[in-house]
Amino acid sequence: MSTVNTRILDILDIKTAIKEIEKINRDTTKLNMFTEKSLYKAVKILDLSVRAANLLREEALIIGAEAIVSPDVAMFNTTKSDVLILATLYQYKLLCYNLQTKEFGLDRVGESIKQTLHRYNNEYPIFKKGNYSFDFNKNKYIMGILNITPDSFFDGGKYNNVDLAIKRAIEMKNEGADIIDIGAESTRPGAKILTEQEELDRVVPIIERLNKEVDIAISIDTYKSSVAEEALKNGAIIVNDITGLKGDKKIAEVISDHDAIAIIMHIKGDVSSMHETKEYNDLIEDICIDFKNSINIAEIAGIRNSNIIIDPGIGFSKTLSQNYEIINKLKELKSLGYPILVGGSRKSFIGKILNEEVEDRLIGSLAVAAIAIKNGASILRVHDVKETKKVIKILDTIENGVK
């Protein structure tokens, strides 16, 4: 008897599905259906009424999918339940269509599922500002860290005059940086909080010269609207706000007025408590909810959706294990529909696992960078540009082949 050759295919995205399907059947009229049937997703819906949860479960079973609810739902021993749906993309299409005519708010549930899947699977808009364009669907980008501070945890004091800062920016560009992120106020525990004038005095001269002398996108790392305003006037195109637009109430409006890009970082609490660990009911779920609040602030201020990037805030109001959980589950943040930035470079969560001081954390930082890219990050904020560029090049070759 001849051997039957079988294997499991690791199909996790639309591109891979199409590639494998076309090896066997190139019928374009059926390609979409085949692709949708090959991709399986778990979608969680929070706090549905017991009637809605029961009916949703029935509708899922009708199309051959599954909807997991609390055991108390069937007996009406609860008023609400989360629901976890397990289905292929094809089954979700059928389910969302069928829910359009259902009661108990299931029409809105169906629309929410449809939009969430669309955001997760859809391409990001191309970011354009002045001479700079960022296509997060085709490329991964490096944001080089330029700390012009005396007290940053890794490179404090190295670049705190204009000439040294410009020299370092040029060096990072030559090593492969796409963006230079300039920060004047350290966020390490115990660092001094600067006045607006102190921060302006540090950053503005450097941004002015950098904009004139170096052709590279400039980001200002600040949570103060006045600093963001002056930075944008002098050539910055990105505002990297560690408070997620929740600190200074005017900063979102400033970003909108300049049609700049907003990097919205997750933080629970405020600047004064950002290094204190916080309670989370469900870490990724809670981060997504907090992001939606920040995104709402951005939308009200008039910041375009295509000008928003999210950063889960590694090392800010998170425990050691929570930092690693974020990196492991990073792909779940794609359901929000925005490019993801990860800044884990040389941070203490690496040192605590490897028992290494900050100057020895390069290998750990590169490991974090590799997994972050594999799990959906579009931008890496790093100290070590040259080494990170090599990691991205190898990952791109693994995914897309030798060019």
Catalytic residues: 347, 381
Distance CA 385, CA 144 (A): 6
- Look up residue 226 and give its two tokens: 């006045």
Distance CA 209, CA 204 (A): 9
**CB distance 223 to 242 below 8 Å:** yes
Task: List phi, psi (to 5°) of 207.
Answer: -65, -40
Distance CA 265, CA 148 (A): 20
Beta bridge partners of 44: 84
3-state secondary structure of 354: helix
Sorted by sequence, the CB contacts under 8 Å of residue 228 that are 6+ apart come out as 220, 222, 236, 239, 241, 251, 254, 255
- Look up residue 151 and give its two tokens: 């007290």
Distance CA 263, CA 6 (A): 46
Distance CA 174, CA 62 (A): 58
Beta bridge partners of 123: none
